[in-house]
């Protein structure tokens, strides 16, 4: 973040005044051919304009019309492993960044890589969700919106997010489990089916479908780009009007 120093603001203000007043003096001189009067007019104008500009700002500070409050929101992508959450969330994030709103991307993978052994049991997952909710809430305190993608298989953990976070938009990335298995480039479904991976949502642990998702994108019926467009339209309509 850059901040303008006071001295820069003052020098910049003076430099503009010099340009502006000189222009006025030259124009008046060219019109009327009296340099002394042109200078006098220019100087009076300078004094007056500084005062008028101040007054103009004061009046506008009282006018609230045309100011819009940007409320931080949280796009919460939930869905089976390999349903396409990260891909779509990345696209949405890239598009939203272009709107010049402060926004942050949070992905399950990044945090689990950083903190190994978070665990996948119901209790571990729920504690994890509380910490993620805390992270999002802290960002929202600072007007920062979030694009978060987590399997978040349990209704109770998604509920904890909804309760702690403002303007929560649940995006259910729906995909047939067979589609997810077909996309299994990581081999995780295979491992889960062999029993090598425990607590794997959709195989040996439950994925509870969201019942109150604000947005449902069916990746069996639309492309990732189409899904991203649906989500961006929703955000633009409700939050970044």
Active site residues: 152
Binder among 58, 62, 142, 237 for a second copy (CB under 8 A) = 142
Of the residues 37, 50, 182, 206, which one makes contact with a second copy according to CB under 8 A? 37
Task: Decide if residue 52 touches a second copy (CB under 8 A).
Answer: yes
Is residue 118 within 8 A of residue 128, CB to CB? The reply is yes
CA–CA distance, 176 with 218 (Å, rounded to integer): 9
One-character DSSP codes across 203-221:
TTB-----SS-SEEEETTT
If one asks whether residue 67 binds a second copy (CB under 8 A), the answer comes out as yes
State which of residues 23, 121, 194, 233 lies at the interface with a second copy (CB under 8 A): 23
Q: How many residues does the chain have?
A: 241
Q: Can residue 204 be called a binding residue for a second copy (CB under 8 A)?
A: no
Residue range at the interface with a second copy (CB under 8 A); choices 38-46, 85-93, 217-225, 230-238: 38-46
Does 4 engage in binding with a second copy (CB under 8 A)? yes
CA 119 to each of CA 2, 65, 78: distance values in angstroms, whole numbers, following the listed order: 41, 50, 18
Angle between helices 35-62 and 6-32 (to 10 degrees): 130
As measured in angstroms, the least distance from the Cβ of 85 to a second copy is 19
- Return the number of the residue (11 or 182) whose C-beta is nearest a second copy: 11
The residue among 129, 71, 130, 80 whose CA lies nearest residue 103 is 71
Where is 77: in which H helix or E strand?
strand 74-78
Q: Does 69 bind a second copy (CB under 8 A)?
A: yes
Taken in order 63, 65, 69, 70, the sign of the CA dihedral is negative
Residues at the site binding a second copy, with contacts judged by CB under 8 A: 1-5, 7-9, 11-12, 15-16, 19-20, 23-24, 27-28, 31-32, 34, 37, 40-41, 44-45, 48-49, 52-53, 56, 60, 65-70, 72, 102, 104, 106, 111, 114-115, 117-118, 127, 130-131, 134-135, 138-139, 141-144
């Amino acid at each position: 973040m850059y901040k303008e120093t006071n001295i820069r603001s003052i020098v910049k203000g003076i430099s503009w005044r010099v340009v502006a007043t000189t222009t006025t003096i030259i124009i008046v001189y060219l019109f009327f051919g009296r340099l002394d009067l042109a200078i006098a007019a220019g100087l009076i104008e300078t004094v007056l304009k500084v005062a008028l500009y101040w007054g103009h700002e004061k009046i506008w500070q009282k006018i609230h019309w045309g100011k819009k409050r940007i409320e931080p929101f949280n796009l919460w992508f939930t869905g089976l492993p390999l349903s396409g959450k990260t891909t779509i969330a990345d696209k949405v994030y890239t598009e939203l960044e272009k709107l010049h709103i402060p926004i942050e991307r949070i992905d399950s993978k990044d945090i689990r890589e950083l903190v190994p052994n978070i665990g996948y049991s119901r209790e571990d997952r729920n504690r994890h969700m509380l910490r993620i909710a805390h992270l999002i809430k802290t960002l929202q305190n600072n007007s920062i919106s979030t694009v978060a993608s987590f399997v978040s298989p349990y209704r109770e953990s998604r509920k904890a997010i909804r309760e702690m976070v403002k303007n929560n938009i649940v995006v259910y990335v729906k995909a047939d489990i067979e589609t997810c298995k077909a996309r299994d480039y990581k081999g995780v479904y295979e491992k889960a089916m062999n029993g090598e991976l425990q607590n794997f949502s959709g195989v040996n642990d439950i994925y509870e479908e969201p019942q109150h998702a604000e947005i449902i994108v069916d990746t069996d019926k639309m492309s990732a780009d189409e899904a991203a467009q649906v989500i961006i339209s929703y955000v633009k309509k409700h939050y970044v009007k």
